[in-house]
Structure 1
Amino acid sequence: MVVGPLTGYHHETYVFPLPDPTGTGPQVRWKCREPRRGLLWFDRRCFVSEELLLRSLQGRVTGIPEIIRAGSTPLQRFVEGTTLGTLHEAGSAVPDQLTDQIVDRFRQLAALGVGDVRARRRCRPEDRPADGDTTGFLDRLLLFTERRVYRHNSKRFDTLFRGLGVDAPCFDRLRLRLRDLTPRPFCLLHADLHRENLIVDPYGGLWTIDWELAMVGDPLYDLATHLHLMRYPAAQGEEMTARWREAVESVRPGASRGWEDDLPKLLAYKRAQSVFTDAIRACLSLETAPDDDPDTYDHTAVQLYHVLTAAADPLGLEAVPSPRDITSALTRWYWEHRESPVGARAEARAARAGTDVPAVQ
């Protein structure tokens, strides 16, 4: 009756049923999770606990997992359904009945301002940008990518970074592109709203899971992250942008102010961030790939080539290495790190999975 551990990066997760407390309803399945230790974090985290955040949002945001306590252990309800990505893969259009619910989720989040979320936060008050300081908010995200993703891992992944043509000056060039954002009032952000974190239940209801990266900040950043990860067809992406603007302005006037100038900047940051996170994930996934399958390297190289091409302008790259050169860089990195410790291989397996949930929930 216990399912698990589910493949995932941040947690080891088990799912099991509990009887209805009244004795009259059906059993409901719950998730018990334990954070994995020693993992690489690619995004800045804001809240101490996802479960505590979800408890504070009950009744204020619809379509989120319920939280109960079993002794001292918080349990998160397992949402029964199918991921949006399984039903409508990245790059394809999403039906109106589901985009309606996505837009409504954005509206509910925008209604929760800086003082409306009581869950305990990780960062010190002095390290939080002032409400409306969108430039400071983005600078902190960029600083995290520079220090915690690039510099912290540069020794281990230096061979690959050099092979991809990215280095420390890339961040100076990127920082110049991201200056002088328009001030906008802050609100709660999911900050990871993509197709695998959206679950469609058997009745067509849309649920939002994996609030691990939620934060308080610039509402336009949530839209930029969503558009970057969802990969809507161009026309639907433009439609969702217009609908997002109407939704957030209805509950937080000024939340979309300056979007024409700032959305391209935020999307540029997301493309640049992907270079470093995707490169590291690619290396970790190769540690568990078969040694005698050259197609694995070629396929990964093509993926990284497209990521680099998309980020060439924000990072100020004069040239992008060819897929063949990227394959060579991946191969060199792999054989330099062939004797990886058990812990690194476990991390690699988790990175290869890339999500806390199975393809079908």
Structure 2
Amino acid sequence: MSPEPSATRLLASDLSDHSDAVEGPLCGYHHETYAFPLSPEAGADFKGRWKIREPREELLWFDRRCFKSEYELLYLLQRRIDVIPEVAPVGGVDLQRFVEGVTLGERHPSGKAVPGAVFEQILELFRQLIAVTSSDTLLVKRSCNPMDRAPEGNSEKFLERLIVFTQERVYKRNLRKYKGLFTDLGIGPNSFEYLRKHVDGLTKRPFCLLHADLHRENFILDSAGKVWAIDWELAMLGDPLYDLATHLHLMRYPARQEREIIQRWRVIAEEVREGSSEGWFEDLPRLRDYKKAQSLFTDVIRETQSLVVEGGFDARRLREASSKVRDVHRAAAEPLGLTSRPSLSEIEAAILRWDEDRKRRADGT
């Protein structure tokens, strides 16, 4: 028997010209998303396909939310940033235009250079982001705790609050389920104190709007070669260098192109707002090391969860998941002060022990 359609799927059917025209759910971790053409009754003036999306239920969030409504932010940014697909209210629901195209990752996978035209558009997006300040977003409701909002320009406090989120909301919140696996990987409370010392001493830089998740799957290339940036739910206000660090961490540029984008970003940042690249040489490695540390917690949890299918364990993917955990563990070893370097077989054994513990908890034993 097919599962009952979700409320989001039913709403997409109501707004589309025919339920068979609804495509989805589309790939994506944070949201349940559908694309469809609007019926004449719902939106006669809205041509092409549109998408509706709702946060997935019982989803683990690995990044802090800053703005209460992504759409509220996007309505504001449409006047400031020209690579955001159009958003519009239709039938009491916020929709976003569906860009017909392919992700940058489909055309140019991780580790590969991106074409010059795409490269220039990404740099222009950074220019537009740095131009948006906290005063420009005052009308957008915030969802983050006021204590998590670092004072303007205080890059050290900004990074500290991100470390606190990772420690409290990712590590500690999942400790009951993952304590054994974390211990096997050499991760403990002291890891965060080591991380704080490792990244200490950031220079002050004027804050701006950050997308905070600019990777190849969040760039869409349309048929005309225009780059569109999607998935703004992680957008925040903070240190502009953090956006570059996150982008480099996720994009995996070849070395030559990475050097070029850093150099070009520095020039653009200073043109838009003086001081935005201050201290970049010392601080960019620190911010990238934080991203490596954060990725270890994120990927350990995501990869192990991906092995649990309908209550069972997908042993066929054990080697693949263990390999991913090994890679992120090696990358995070220095910033977290991890002295052990478990082998692939040792990580596989640790994950199998974690699964046995999961089953015992499920059985109440």
Q: State the secondary structure of the residue aligned to 2:50.
A: strand
Per-residue deviation, 1:154: 0.5
1:120–1:166: structure 2 CA closer, same or farther, 3 Å change rule? same
**Which residue of the partner structure matches residue 263 of structure 2?**
242
Q: Hey, what's the Cα distance between the residues in 2 that align with 1:159 and 1:24?
A: 57
**Which residue of the partner structure matches residue 196 of structure 2?**
175
Per-residue deviation, 1:119: 1.7
Q: Hey, what's the Cα distance between the residues in 2 that align with 1:69 and 1:340?
A: 45
**Which residue of the partner structure matches residue 11 of structure 2?**
none
Of the structure 1 ranges 313-322 and 206-215, higher mean CA displacement relative to structure 2 is found in 313-322
**Which residue of the partner structure matches residue 12 of structure 2?**
none
Normalized against structure 2, the TM-score is what?
0.89
Candidates 149, 162, 185, aligned match of 1:128: 149
Per-residue deviation, 1:38: 2.0
Task: Map residues 79-228 of structure 1 onto 2, 5 A cutoff.
Answer: 79-117=99-137, 118-228=139-249
Normalized against structure 1, the TM-score is what?
0.90
Whether 1:62 and 2:69 are equivalent positions in the alignment is no
Per-residue deviation, 1:311: 1.0
Per-residue deviation, 1:39: 1.3
Per-residue deviation, 1:333: 1.3
How many percent of aligned residue pairs carry the same amino acid? 52
Q: State the secondary structure of the residue aligned to 2:54.
A: strand
Unaligned runs of 5+ in 1: 342-361
Q: Hey, what's the Cα distance between the residues in 1 that align with 2:244 and 2:255?
A: 15
Whether 1:315 and 2:346 are equivalent positions in the alignment is no
Per-residue deviation, 1:19: 5.7
8 Å CA contact 1:165–1:321 kept in 2: the answer is no
Q: Hey, what's the Cα distance between the residues in 1 that align with 2:36 and 2:322?
A: 39
**Which residue of the partner structure matches residue 6 of structure 2?**
none
1:4–1:305: structure 2 CA closer, same or farther, 3 Å change rule? same
Which deviations, in whole Å up to 9, do the C-alpha atoms of 1:255-291 show, x marking residues without a partner? 0000000001001100011110000001110002997
Q: Hey, what's the Cα distance between the residues in 2 that align with 1:186 and 1:307?
A: 29
Q: State the secondary structure of the residue aligned to 2:24.
A: strand
1:207–1:316: structure 2 CA closer, same or farther, 3 Å change rule? same
**Which residue of the partner structure matches residue 354 of structure 2?**
333
Q: Which has the higher contact order (CA 8 A, sep 6+)?
A: 1
Instruction: Give the ranges of 4+ consecutive aligned residues of structure 1 lying more than 6 Å apart after TM superposition.
Output: 23-26, 289-293
**Which residue of the partner structure matches residue 5 of structure 2?**
none
1:63–1:171: structure 2 CA closer, same or farther, 3 Å change rule? same
Q: Hey, what's the Cα distance between the residues in 2 that align with 1:234 and 1:178?
A: 23
Of the structure 1 ranges 310-319 and 331-340, higher mean CA displacement relative to structure 2 is found in 331-340
1:66–1:339: structure 2 CA closer, same or farther, 3 Å change rule? farther
Per-residue deviation, 1:12: 1.5
Q: How many residues align?
A: 341
8 Å CA contact 1:287–1:338 kept in 2: the answer is no
Per-residue deviation, 1:24: 9.4
Q: Hey, what's the Cα distance between the residues in 1 that align with 2:301 and 2:307?
A: 10
Candidates 11, 16, 25, aligned match of 1:5: 25
Which deviations, in whole Å up to 9, do the C-alpha atoms of 1:36-66 show, x marking residues without a partner? 2221110011001111111010121011021
8 Å CA contact 1:160–1:329 kept in 2: the answer is yes
Aligned partner letter, 2:126: F
1:91–1:135: structure 2 CA closer, same or farther, 3 Å change rule? same
Aligned partner letter, 1:91: G
8 Å CA contact 2:307–2:315 kept in 1: the answer is no
Candidates 72, 90, 95, aligned match of 2:92: 72
8 Å CA contact 2:308–2:314 kept in 1: the answer is no
Which deviations, in whole Å up to 9, do the C-alpha atoms of 1:175-198 show, x marking residues without a partner? 111212100000000000000000
Candidates 25, 44, 52, aligned match of 2:64: 44
Aligned partner letter, 2:30: H
Q: Hey, what's the Cα distance between the residues in 2 that align with 1:161 and 1:289?
A: 24
Unaligned runs of 5+ in 2: 1-20
Per-residue deviation, 1:339: 7.9
Of the structure 1 ranges 221-230 and 282-291, higher mean CA displacement relative to structure 2 is found in 282-291
Per-residue deviation, 1:218: 0.1
**Which residue of the partner structure matches residue 252 of structure 2?**
231
Q: Hey, what's the Cα distance between the residues in 2 that align with 1:296 and 1:242?
A: 40
Aligned partner letter, 2:204: P
Q: Hey, what's the Cα distance between the residues in 2 that align with 1:130 and 1:225?
A: 21
**Which residue of the partner structure matches residue 32 of structure 1?**
52
Q: Hey, what's the Cα distance between the residues in 1 that align with 2:26 and 2:293?
A: 30
8 Å CA contact 2:51–2:97 kept in 1: the answer is yes
